[in-house]
Structure 1
């Protein structure tokens, strides 16, 4: 089953050099999510042939314009295209007011319902959960209340070793094997050991999205060992004073977080418009964390089981 992230926008506060403000499209086991929705997001969704009507959950990290100003246009497009399925929006307090005011003054009534979920300031909490997946908030440190998001698959069932399965197993016995249990007779005798008939479960994948934030070691335990970490890298060390002033991170600081958290791969984004050539950002991070890439428009990260 798929677990992929498509980068729609990688720019910081200003669109520059063909880079769009922050937005990402995430597909996990036929579930579709949008994370942040800067200007031009719906154009990018069309450009990369991503079906916007499959998105049922949109997560907004914070209410700086470069992370949500594309949302109203997207909502109205869904309305014009006759969407009827409810849409869940997750953000800190205020997004409901922003949307309601615009709908009221344009005398618009959407064809579908919006369900608002308000994030709790400075709290790590579960935002979405089903039988296969969990999405959690990651408290970040920025000028506005801001959260990142952790997408994590739940532990998977063990795989049946079809070459070793005996004939005549009952459905409940097969279910027990998948859960990691032995097959036991009514009198308590072990009929088949689990390890003899099954293979280890496939890897449960994880992705952490750390939007605008100053260097923050407190997030390290929350993102420890994730397969892919997206971390903002608005500036390089030469502009560290600007990073501190605006409560952003440098590429070096993002790499330090990745190293301390033991993540498998680091993707950098939210680049300042002062950098036309992003190689300086990538090279700086790689001095600390080798497995670093730039998360630029159109790039797709597919995580393996």
Structure 2
């Protein structure tokens, strides 16, 4: 099975603390790396996690609150200083573009790589990125600024070849792809061996949903049905539900409701308010609703299977 990992670089909220960095993650799928949000200090966190700058092929920014994008211009500058030549795609709400253009013109106007900006419509679900192995969809969220989540989804793969059967029937290597695509094989005695005897079922496609800052959305689970793993902001505990409503955030219990109703495989908690010296209260609250809940922490690597 090919790697599908989430590197947690920051899981705090707006006010930086000595315990947590602002929001940032790297999603690694089949040797491709995608940065999701870029709070202050993200490039330092990438170095600590030994994530190579040159392997990053796209950046996804959920919204333009500073704890989700203050680290972007510094990272782009470092890419230029390191001699990057490969284009970098940035997917973000359209409101970021004039700010980014001004910063690039001021600080990053002589670099050798192209920045390709793609405006994300935060009001509709759409495929915004696609390659041979995966798609990334935007997920409408509700916050104080236009905001979108992102759903990374593997494309189905072909069945696995059974090497013992290939050797037994002396099937040439040139026919392996045909067999994976459903072709049968006729042996020298005229016996037809169907493809399903020569292969094992393909690995089920995995998926990861990043739900950034948002108030609780009772219908959100419908867009995340069956997701392998969901990251959902859990800024507050239920005792601070009024604050969550006021600032368009979610409680840990509400995040767990989304994961439970979506029949997700697991839930990652993050975007903790700085008021909590210990996030255990958030974990306990979430697990009471959805047992497969986990706290994120800086340096954590989550592997999807």
Q: Shift in Å at residue 124 of structure 1? A: 0.7
Segments of 5+ residues of structure 2 without an aligned counterpart are none
Q: Secondary structure at the match of 2:232?
A: strand
Matched, 1:175 2:158: no
What is the CA deviation profile of residues 49-99 of structure 1, one whole-angstrom value per residue up to 9, with x for unaligned ones?
111121010000011111000000001111111111111000011222112
Equivalent residue, structure 2, for 1:159: 160
TM-score (norm. length: structure 2): 0.94
- Which moved further from structure 2: 211-220 or 145-154? 211-220
Equivalent residue, structure 2, for 1:264: 265
Distance 1:204 1:177 in 2: 20
Give 4+ residue runs of structure 1 displaced > 6 Å after superposition: none
What is the CA deviation profile of residues 256-287 of structure 1, one whole-angstrom value per residue up to 9, with x for unaligned ones?
00000000110000001111111001011010
Distance 2:100 2:243 in 1: 32
Q: Secondary structure at the match of 1:78?
A: helix
Distance 1:303 1:74 in 2: 27
Distance 1:52 1:296 in 2: 21
Against the structure 1 CA distance between its residues 157 and 43, is the aligned structure 2 distance closer, same or farther, given a 3 Å change threshold? same
Contact 2:80 2:108 in 1 (8 A): no
Equivalent residue, structure 2, for 1:110: 111
Q: Shift in Å at residue 221 of structure 1? A: 2.1
1:52-131 matches, within 5 Å, as: 52-106=53-107, 108-131=109-132
Contact 1:103 1:109 in 2 (8 A): no
Distance 1:134 1:104 in 2: 31
TM-score (norm. length: structure 1): 0.94
Equivalent residue, structure 2, for 1:5: 6
Equivalent residue, structure 1, for 2:32: 31
Distance 1:67 1:190 in 2: 61
Distance 2:233 2:249 in 1: 8
Against the structure 1 CA distance between its residues 162 and 170, is the aligned structure 2 distance closer, same or farther, given a 3 Å change threshold? closer
What is the CA deviation profile of residues 91-121 of structure 1, one whole-angstrom value per residue up to 9, with x for unaligned ones?
0112221121123334733221100000013
Distance 2:145 2:191 in 1: 58
Equivalent residue, structure 2, for 1:218: 219
Q: Shift in Å at residue 174 of structure 1? A: 2.6
Distance 1:23 1:170 in 2: 44
Segments of 5+ residues of structure 1 without an aligned counterpart are none
Against the structure 1 CA distance between its residues 146 and 28, is the aligned structure 2 distance closer, same or farther, given a 3 Å change threshold? same
Q: CA RMSD in A?
A: 1.6
Q: Shift in Å at residue 17 of structure 1? A: 3.6
1:265-280 matches, within 5 Å, as: 265-280=266-281
Equivalent residue, structure 2, for 1:21: 22
Q: Shift in Å at residue 177 of structure 1? A: 2.1
Equivalent residue, structure 2, for 1:192: 193
Contact 1:33 1:58 in 2 (8 A): yes
Distance 2:184 2:29 in 1: 32
Contact 1:26 1:33 in 2 (8 A): yes
Against the structure 1 CA distance between its residues 164 and 246, is the aligned structure 2 distance closer, same or farther, given a 3 Å change threshold? same
Contact 1:134 1:154 in 2 (8 A): yes
Contact 1:7 1:24 in 2 (8 A): yes
